[in-house]
Amino acid sequence: MANQKEIRARISSTISTQQITKAMKLVSATKLRKASEAIIRMRPYAQKLQGIMGNLQESTDDAQLAGYFENREAKRVLLLVITSDRGLCGAFNANVVKRVRQLLDTDYAAAHLSGNVTLMCMGKKGGEALKRFGYSVNMDMVNLTQNTDSQSAFAAMQSVIDAYLLGQYDRVEVVYNKFKNAATQILVNEQLLPVVPAANVEKASASNDYIFEPDQVAILQDLIPRSLNTLFYRSLLDSLASEHGARMVAMDKATENAGDLLRAFRLAYNQARQAAITREISEIVGGVAALEG
C-alpha cells in the first residue's frame, strides 16, 4: 500500500485534473450552443437548395451540364476527411479515420491499390492518424476547421469542383460526423460529385408550366456549384457542432471518473492513516509494558 505522502500527491493531482476537465466541459458546452444554432439555421437552406436543383435536373439533359451528374467509373477518387484539430473528444476522430479506412478497403479498393485515391484532410487529428497508418495525405486544407467561415469553405470546395470538371477525379466524397444532439453524432460519408439528386424531394406539379430566365440549363450551371459549396459548408458546421458535443460528453465523463478516483484515494488515505495510528499506539503500549516489566 502506498504511504500517506504518495496518496496525498495523487489526490492533489486528481483534483487539478478534475478542475481542468470540468472547465473544458463548460467551455465546450458554451461553444456547442453557438455551433448547434449555426447548423440548425443552415440545414433548411441547404435542403431547399437541393430540392430546387432536383426539380430542375429531372427535365434537363445531363450532357448539357458539364458532367455534374455523369456517373462514371470511380478510377480516381477524392475523399474529404473532416476531423478536429484537438483531441480529448472521445472517439470523434477515431471513428472518421476508421470509416475512411473501410472505404479504402471496400468501395475504393481498386483505386487505392493503383494509388489513385487522394485523402484531403480538414483537421490535424485525422491527417496525423492516417499518416501513422501509412497513408499519403493532402494537408492543403488542414486549417479549414480552425476558422469555419463560408467564404473559405466555398473557395475550398470550388477548387475541388474545378478539379472534378477537369477530369482529375471521378468521385468526390466527404466523411464527417453529422450533428444530431449534444450526446449523439452520426458518422456519415456523402457523395458530392457526381451530384446525386436529393431523395424525398418535393417534386413540382407536372401541370405547372414555369418560365425560366435566362434558361433552365443556365440556372442549373449556376445553382449546382452553389449547392455543392453549401453542402460542404454544412458538413463543416455539422462536424464542428459534433466535436463540441463529443468533447463536452467526454469531459463530463472524465470529471465523473476523477470523482470516483478521489473517493478511492481518500479511502486509501484514511486506511493508511488509521494503520499508522494503530501502529504507533501498539509501539507505545509495547514500550510502556517493557518499562513496567
The confidence band for 205, taking pLDDT boundaries of 50, 70 and 90, is: very low
CATH architecture of residue range(s) 4-19+252-292: Orthogonal Bundle (1.10)
When pLDDT is averaged across residues 179-202 and rounded to a whole number, the result is 83
Domain ranges (residues) in the chain: 4-19+252-292, 36-249
Choose the most confident range, by mean pLDDT, from 56-70, 144-158, 258-272. 258-272
- Kindly state the cell numbers that stand for 86: 484537438
- Cβ proximity of 138 and 120 under 8 Å: yes
Which pLDDT tens digit goes with each residue over 17-76?
A: 999 999 999 999 999 999 999 999 999 988 888 887 777 776 666 666 767 888 888 999
Distance of CA 160 to the CA centre of its chain: 20
**Its pTM surpasses 0.75:** yes
> Is 90 exceeded by the pLDDT of residue 285?
no
The CA-atom distances, in angstroms, between 78 and each of 83, 104, 213, 239 are: 16, 11, 35, 19
pLDDT in tens, 216-228: 788 888 888 999 9
Only one residue has cell 486544407, namely 141
Q: How confident is the model at residue 197, as a pLDDT?
A: 66
Helices 124-132 and 92-105: crossing angle, nearest 10°?
A: 50
The answer to whether residue 89 is catalytic is yes
Q: Which of 38-47, 90-99, 134-143 is modeled with the greatest confidence?
A: 90-99
pLDDT at 207 (0 to 100): 42
Given the residues 56, 77, 79, 89, the one annotated as active site: 89
Q: What is the pLDDT of residue 290?
A: 77
Lowest mean pLDDT of 104-108, 157-161, 212-216, name the range: 212-216
Model pLDDT, residue 245 = 96
Q: Is the peptide bond before 214 cis (omega within 30 degrees of 0)?
A: yes
Q: Does 44 sit behind a cis peptide bond, omega within 30 degrees of 0 on the bond before it?
A: no
Q: Residue 90: which pLDDT band, with cuts at 50, 70 and 90? A: very high
Q: Which CATH code, of 3.30.930.20, 3.40.1380.10, 3.30.1490.20, 3.40.1670.10, is assigned to 36-249?
A: 3.40.1380.10
Please tell me the predicted confidence (pLDDT) of residue 66. Answer: 64
Burial of 282 (0-12, 13-18, 19+ CB in 10 A): exposed
Q: What is the mean pLDDT of residues 175-184?
A: 94
When comparing pLDDT for 54 and 112, which is higher?
112
pLDDT at position 94 is: 96
What's the pLDDT band for 201 if we cut at 50, 70, 90? Answer: very low
Chain-wide mean pLDDT for the chain?
A: 88
CB 175 within 8 A of CB 79: yes
- Given a cut of 60, whether residue 162 has pLDDT beyond it is yes
Cell of 141: 486544407
Q: Which three cell numbers stand for residue 136?
A: 499519403
